[in-house]
């Protein structure tokens, strides 16, 4: 079984790495996640830390969006370095379409 752990602070990564069973880290920025507590820049820093520790950073985008919210979110996401994330978990069909079109 593959274990994926949600993390919103660099301090939590040590426990995940020491456990030895966690390979992927779910990172949920507040602008695109229902449970997110961190900014996009904090998410990017967390993704960098994950990579340094040999963990796979996964971006969580699980909000459902109206057109107005989608435009605001996409504006913010254009600044994100998508190469920091190995995967993205989406819930909204519009988010999926955008990710497929605008990310590497």
Per-residue model confidence as pLDDT tens digits over 61-82: 999 899 999 999 999 998 899 9
SS3 helix, strand, coil % of the chain, rounded to 5? 45, 20, 35
pLDDT at 14: 83
pLDDT at 17: 79
Tokens matching residue 99: 């990710």
pLDDT at 19 over 80: no
Global confidence as pTM:
0.91
What ranges in the chain are assigned the alpha helix state H?
A: 13-19, 40-52, 67-77, 93-102
| 82 or 18, which is more confident | 82
């Amino acid at each position: 079984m593959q274990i994926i752990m949600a993390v919103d602070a660099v301090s939590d990564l040590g426990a995940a790495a020491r456990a030895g069973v966690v390979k992927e880290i779910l990172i949920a920025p507040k602008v695109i996640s229902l449970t997110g507590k961190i900014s996009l820049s904090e998410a990017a820093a967390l993704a960098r830390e994950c990579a340094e520790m040999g963990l796979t950073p996964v971006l969580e985008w699980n909000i459902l969006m109206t057109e107005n919210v989608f435009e605001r979110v996409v504006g913010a996401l254009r600044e994100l370095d998508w190469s920091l994330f190995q995967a993205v978990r989406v819930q909204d069909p519009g988010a999926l379409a955008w990710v497929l079109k605008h990310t590497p």
